[in-house]
């Protein structure tokens, strides 16, 4: 037999409730009853808005977090320490240079302005005959060499194309190919710290430049460069116009050592492209603004005295990059 079925009616409220018939007294209260119903609707709407507010806040918070993450990611990729800062500085200088003058390439182009060249020509006219050392080859430097009548000129260049296209009109001018190894411009800050914390890089080191343990020392120069007492040194190479290209850190450091090895004489050192960060840093550090005679365009002209007993390159103050 089928099981007994208990008949019962669940005590559930109907889905739709109809109001009871209105009495005469109730009819009199009808406006107030309708008013209560409207109030109830308003309360329900307010509750719904209150529920929406946390959801909207959550959505806005998620969007803000995502934007922050993207911003941090962009910031990290665009700036990776001091090397990235240097890279951005090079890029900025490159853009400015492209608007102001032709870009330096393997083709021989003029890089010195008329006023800058006059600084060098006046200096050579004053010091001639002299020993002139030039890092970097440009046609105008052959003009300087021809002005150095009776003197000796050595030009060091790492670009074969420039050397091959240059013509030498004097037996007293020599051009050498120079290799710059493992010294990209982006490593400038690391090289600066190395020089400050390693005694072999001190200016009163008795070790010869070609045997120095300082990483900034150029040890592959022609032997004649180490033997001569230089009267004028011009620094316009290597090109150093990008973070990956060879920078002038070792050139400026080595020139400062050579300039201080002239005994009781003085040596004039001229640095080109001082509008760039590397040239500024290393000129301040090793040539020193106490030795700065004057500036013209992108040229800084220093006059360096021979060796002193000080372990510092700059005596009158701390290096500007340490401030």
pLDDT attached to residue 56: 82
In this predicted structure, the answer to whether residue 19 has a pLDDT above a threshold of 80 is no
Summarize pLDDT for 85-94 with one digit per residue, the tens.
454 554 444 4
pLDDT value at 316 more than 90: no
Banded pLDDT at 211 (limits 50, 70, 90): confident
Q: Do the beta carbons of residue 294 and residue 301 sit within 8 Å? A: yes
Cis peptide before 56 (omega within 30 of 0): no
Mean of the per-residue pLDDT values for the chain? 76
Q: What is the pLDDT of residue 99?
A: 43
pLDDT tens digits, 65-100: 888 787 666 544 444 444 454 545 544 444 444 444
Extract long-range pairs of 90-97: CB within 8 Å, 24+ residues apart: 90/185, 90/241, 90/242, 90/243, 90/276, 90/277, 91/242, 93/241, 93/275, 93/276, 94/241, 94/242, 97/241
Q: Which of 170, 156, 175, 169 is nearest to 254 (CA)?
A: 156
pLDDT tens figures, 263-312: 888 999 999 999 999 999 999 999 999 999 999 999 999 999 876 556 67
Cα–Cα dist 27/19, whole Å: 12
Strands 232-235 and 173-177: unpaired
Q: Could you tell me the pTM of the whole model?
A: 0.66
Q: Are 91 and 114 in contact (CB under 8 A)?
A: no
- pLDDT value for 8: 44
Residue 292 φ then ψ, to 5°:
-75, 120
């Amino acid at each position: 037999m089928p099981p007994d079925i208990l008949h019962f009616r669940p005590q559930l409220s109907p889905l739709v409730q109809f109001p009871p018939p209105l009495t005469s007294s109730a009819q009199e209260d009808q406006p107030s009853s309708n008013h209560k119903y409207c109030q109830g609707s308003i309360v329900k709407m307010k509750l719904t808005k209150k529920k929406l507010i946390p959801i909207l806040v959550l959505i806005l918070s998620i969007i803000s977090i995502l934007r922050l993450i993207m911003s941090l990611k962009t910031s990290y990729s665009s700036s990776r320490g001091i090397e990235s800062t240097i890279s951005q500085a090079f890029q900025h200088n490159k853009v400015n240079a492209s608007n102001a003058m032709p870009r330096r390439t393997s083709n021989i182009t003029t890089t010195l302005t008329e006023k800058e060249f006059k600084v060098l020509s006046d200096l050579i006219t004053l010091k001639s005959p002299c020993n002139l050392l030039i890092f970097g080859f440009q046609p105008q430097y052959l003009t300087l060499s021809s002005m150095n009548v009776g003197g000796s000129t050595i030009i060091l260049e790492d670009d074969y194309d420039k050397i091959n296209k240059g013509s030498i009109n004097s037996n007293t001018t020599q051009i050498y190919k120079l290799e710059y190894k493992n010294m990209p411009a982006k490593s400038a800050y690391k090289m600066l710290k190395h020089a400050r914390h390693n005694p072999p890089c001190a200016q009163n080191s008795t070790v010869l430049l070609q045997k120095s343990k300082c990483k900034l020392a150029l040890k592959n120069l022609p032997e004649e460069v180490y033997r001569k007492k230089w009267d004028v040194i011009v620094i316009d190479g290597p090109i150093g116009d990008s973070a990956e290209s060879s920078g002038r850190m070792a050139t400026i450091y080595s020139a400062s050592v050579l300039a201080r090895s002239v005994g009781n004489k003085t040596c004039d050192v001229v640095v080109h492209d001082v509008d760039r960060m590397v040239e500024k840093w290393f000129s301040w550090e090793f040539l020193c603004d106490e030795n700065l005679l004057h500036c013209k365009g992108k040229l800084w002209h220093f006059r360096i005295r021979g060796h002193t007993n000080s372990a510092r390159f700059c005596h009158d103050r701390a290096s500007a990059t340490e401030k």
